[in-house]
Chains A and B, each alone.
Chain A
Amino acid sequence: MQGNTACAEGALAAGCRFFGGYPITPSTEIAEHMALKLPKTGGVFIQMEDEIAGIAAVIGASWTGARAMTATSGPGFSLMMENLGFAVMTETPCVVVNIQRGGPSTGQPTMAAQGDMLQCRFGSHGDYSVIALSPASVQEMYDLTAEAFNLADRFRIPVFVMADEIIGHMREKLVVPDTVTRDDRIPLQKGNLPFRAGDSLVPGFPAFGKGYGVHVTGLTHDERGYPCATSPSVHEDLVTRLVNKVESARNTIASCDVINPDAQVVFISYGAPSRAVEQVLHDIRRDDVGHLRLKVVWPFAESLLSRFANAETFIVPELNMGQIAREIERHTDRTVIPVPKLGGELHNPSDLARLLEELA
C-alpha cells in the first residue's frame, strides 16, 4: 500500500469523521482516499476553496465533537499557520498531515524534504507548544496517524504528522491491526468552567450542541471562555498552561527506537533519513555505532539523549539544513554533526558510512 493511502486508512481506523482540505502535491492521495471512503462510513469529506478554509472547517467540525483532519504540503501548510494558532488558543483537537516537499515557496512539489520541522513547531505567532510525529514507513503512516488522533484529543491541540514525499509515495506491506486503541477527549463536566483545567492542565471538552453554551474565542480568555485581552496575569496564566500541558508531558509523549545504547557514535534521525541510517547500521555491523530514531519530534524529549551514556558524537542526517540538529545542540555538550541534504533525494548510505570512517 502507498504511504498516503495508509495514512488515510489509519485515520479512518481511528474514527476520523471529517476531512476538510485542498489538493496539493504530494499529499493529494490522502484527500482522494478520504473522499472515497468517508461518505461510506458516515463521515464527511469537503474540498474547501483553499488551505485556510480547510483547516478552518476542520476546527469547526472538531467543535461538534468529531475527530477531524486535513492533509497538505508546504505552501498549504504556510497558509494554515494563523488558524493553527487559533486551534492552539482555543484548545481544539485536530490532526494535520504534512507530506513535506522542497521549499521555500513552490520549490520542489514532487520531491521530499523535512524543511517544515521548525515551522510546525513555531510557525504561528505567539508562544505555544504542539506535538509532531514523524513516520518512517508505510506502517507508521497508518499507526502514527491513528495515534495522532489520541494525542490531539488527550491534549486538545493540533497534532502534526510530519511525513515527506518519500514516505507518502512509497509502497510497502501494511499490517492492519485488528483494533486501534482510542483515547477520546474527555467531555466537560456540567457545571465546571469550560477553560478551567485540573492537574492534567487540559480542561474537559464542551462540544457544541450539548447544552454547554460555551463561548470559544481566539482572544485571550478567562476560565469562563470570555475575552479578557488586557489582563497581563490572565494572558500569562493561559499561555503558560497551553505550553506546559504539552511540555510537562514530553517524556510520556516521547516515542523512539534505540539501537546500541552503549555506542560512542550515535545517529539521530526521524522520518525518511532513518531508512538510510538503518542501511548503514546493517552494512557496517558495528556495535559502537548507535541509532536514536524519533517517532515523536515535538515536544523534544531531551532525556532521550541520555539513553546513550557513552555517546561522544551525535550525527543528525536531515532533509533540511539542520533544523532538529539545532535543537539537539541545545540539550547536549557532546559533538553534534548535522548532515544536511537538500534537493529531494535521500542521503546515500555510503556517504553516511564514509562520514563514520572520517570520524574514526
Chain B
Amino acid sequence: MSYDEWFRDDRLPHIYCAGCGNGTVINCTLSAVDQMGWTKDETVFVSGIGCSSRAPGYIVADSLHTTHGRAIAFATGIKMANPDLRVIVFTGDGDLAAIGGNHFIHACRRNIDLTVVCMNNMIYGMTGGQGSPTTPQGALSTTTPYGSAEAAFDLCGLAAAAGANYVARYTSYHVKELIRAVRTGLETPGFSFIEALVQCPTNFGRRNKFRQVMDQIEFFKSHALLVQKADRMREEGKKIPDDMIVIGELARRNRPPLGVRK
C-alpha cells in the first residue's frame, strides 16, 4: 500500500489553496502511517478547527473533526477508552497553541500515547489571515496591520518542557526528515509532537514578502538550522539569529506513558 490509498477519492477536490503546505504534511504523515503497517480499521484521525483540521475528512479511516482547540481532549477520550486504537491528531498553530493550549500541555504532562502533527503556518489561514500565537514578531496579518507586537510561542519548547516523550520540528521543505520524524512519533509510546512549518501563500506569504509559493519554501530551506549545530553555536557563545528555524529531534525520552496498547 502507499499513502495515496488512504485518501477518500469521493471528497475531491479538497479545500486547500494552490501552493498550500498542508498537503505535504498530510502526505508525509500518511507515508509514515503506511510504513508502520497500520490498518485503516485500527487508526483514528482527530482534529479541531482550521485548515489543518480538515485533513481527517480526506482520509479513509475513522475520524473525528471536533471543536476549535479541543482535538487533543477528544483524542484523549478515544485513546483511554480503547488503547488498541492508533490515534493521530492533526492540528494547527491557532488550534493547538491559542484556544487549545491548555489541552496541549496537559496531554504532554500525561504523556498520553498520541501523535500530534501540527501544521504551523503562523497565521489563521481559514478565516483570512489573522495573527496567531506563532506569528513572528513584526509580521503582518489582518489583526496585526502594524506588525505583530507579541512574541511567538516555541511550540516544541512547550511540548518538551511539559513532558512529551518525543518532540521534533521540520518544515514542508524537509519531506524525508518529516516522514522519519512522524514515524518515530508513531513508534514512540507516550505523547509525540511533530511541528511542521508550512507555507501559506494566500494569507501569510503575500503580506510578508513571500509572494511566490517557492519564496517561503526557499526561506525554510535557507533558515533551517539543525539542532546539533544550534547547540554547538550556543556552546560557543554565538547568538542564533531570531529568524533561524531550529529543526531536528528536540526531545526524545522515556517517561512513563498513558493509554498505551496492551
Q: Please report A residues at the B interface, Cβ cutoff 8 Å.
A: 17-18, 20, 44, 46, 48-50, 52-53, 56-66, 68, 82-83, 86, 90, 206, 208-219, 224, 226-227
Asked if residues B81 and A17 are in contact (CB atoms below 8 Å), the reply is: yes
User: Contacts A208-B78, A209-B82, A227-B57 hold; do A86 and B66 have CB atoms under 8 A apart?
Assistant: yes
Tell me if B46 is interfacial: C-beta within 8 Å of chain A.
yes
Q: Are B60 and A213 in contact (CB under 8 A)?
A: yes
Most buried by B among A64, A82, A90: A64
- B74 x A64 contact (CB < 8 A): no
Of B44, B63, B85, chain A has the most CB atoms within 10 Å of the CB of: B63
- Tell me the number of A-to-B contacts counted with CB atoms below 8 Å: 129
User: Taking the nearest CB of chain A, how far is it from the CB of B84, in angstroms?
Assistant: 7
Neighbouring A residues of B77 by C-beta, 8 Å: 18, 20, 46, 56-62, 68
User: Residue among B40, B75, B78 with the most chain A CB within 10 A?
Assistant: B78
Contact bitstring B4-22, A, C-beta under 8 A = 1, else 0: 0000101100000000000
Give A114 to B42 CA distance when docked, in angstroms: 43
User: Known: A46-B76, A52-B73, A227-B57. Contact between A66 and B62, CB under 8 A?
Assistant: no
Whether A53 touches B65, Cβ cut-off 8 Å, given contacts A60-B46, A226-B11, is no
Interface readout for B62-93 with A: 1 if CB under 8 Å, 0 if not? 11111100100111111111101100000000
CA distance A314 to B31 in the complex (A): 67
Contact A209 B84 (CB under 8 A): yes
Contact A57/B76 with A66-B81, A66-B82 known, Cβ cut-off 8 Å: yes
Other A-B contacts than A64-B78, A206-B62, A208-B85, 5 sampled, CB-CB below 8 A, are A53-B70, A56-B77, A57-B73, A59-B74, A83-B70
B15 to chain A, nearest CB (A): 9
B82 near A64 (CB under 8 angstroms)? yes
A49-B106, A60-B76 known; A216 vs B64 contact (CB < 8 Å): yes
- Return 26 A-B CB contacts under 8 Å, by A number: A18-B80, A56-B76, A56-B103, A57-B77, A58-B77, A60-B73, A61-B77, A63-B64, A64-B85, A66-B81, A68-B77, A68-B81, A86-B66, A90-B64, A208-B44, A208-B62, A208-B64, A208-B82, A208-B85, A209-B41, A209-B82, A209-B85, A215-B8, A215-B62, A217-B65, A227-B65
- Assuming the contacts A56-B74, A60-B77, A208-B82, asked whether A86 and B67 have C-beta atoms less than 8 A apart, the reply is yes
Contact surface of B with A, Cβ cutoff 8 Å: 8, 10-11, 40-42, 44, 46, 54, 56-57, 60-67, 70, 73-82, 84-85, 102-103, 106
Give the residue name and chain of the B residue nearest to A48 (CB).
B73
Asked if B61 and A213 sit within 8 Å, CB to CB, the answer is: yes
Q: Which of B40, B41, B65, B103 has the most CB of A within 10 A?
A: B65
Smallest distance from the beta carbon of A92 to chain B beta carbons, Å?
A: 9
Q: Are B57 and A211 in contact (CB under 8 A)?
A: no
Check if A212 sits within 8 Å of B62, measured CB to CB.
yes
Q: Are B62 and A56 in contact (CB under 8 A)?
A: no
In the assembled complex, which residues on chain B have CB atoms less than 8 Å from the CB atom of A52? 70, 73
CA distance A82 to B81 in the complex (A): 22
Chain A proximity of B46: nearest CB distance (Å): 7
Task: Closest B residue to A53 by CB, please name it.
Answer: B73
A53 to B109 Cα, complex, angstroms: 15
Contact of A60 among B56, B60, B61, B74 (CB under 8 A): B74
Bound CA–CA A194/B79 (angstroms): 22
Q: For the complex, what is the distance from the CA of A78 to the CA of B69, rounded to whole Å?
A: 17
Chain A residues with CB below 8 A from B61, complex form: 213
Q: Are A50 and B62 touching (Cβ within 8 A)?
A: no
Beta-carbon contact of B82 and A56 below 8 Å:
no
Which residue of chain B is the closest to A227 with respect to CB atoms?
B57
**B25 CB to nearest A CB, Å:** 19
A216 lies within 8 A of B81 (CB): no
- Which residues of chain B have C-beta atoms less than 8 A from A44's C-beta? 80-81
Tell me the complex Cα distance, A65–B63, Å: 14
Asked whether, in the complex, the Cβ of B81 is within 8 Å of the Cβ of A60, the reply is yes
The CA of A266 and the CA of B65, in the complex, are separated in Å by 48
Give CA–CA (A48, B79) in the complex, Å.
14
Min CB gap B242→A, angstroms: 32
Chain A residues lying within 8 Å of B102, measured Cβ to Cβ, are 49-50, 53
B40 touches A60 (CB 8 A): no
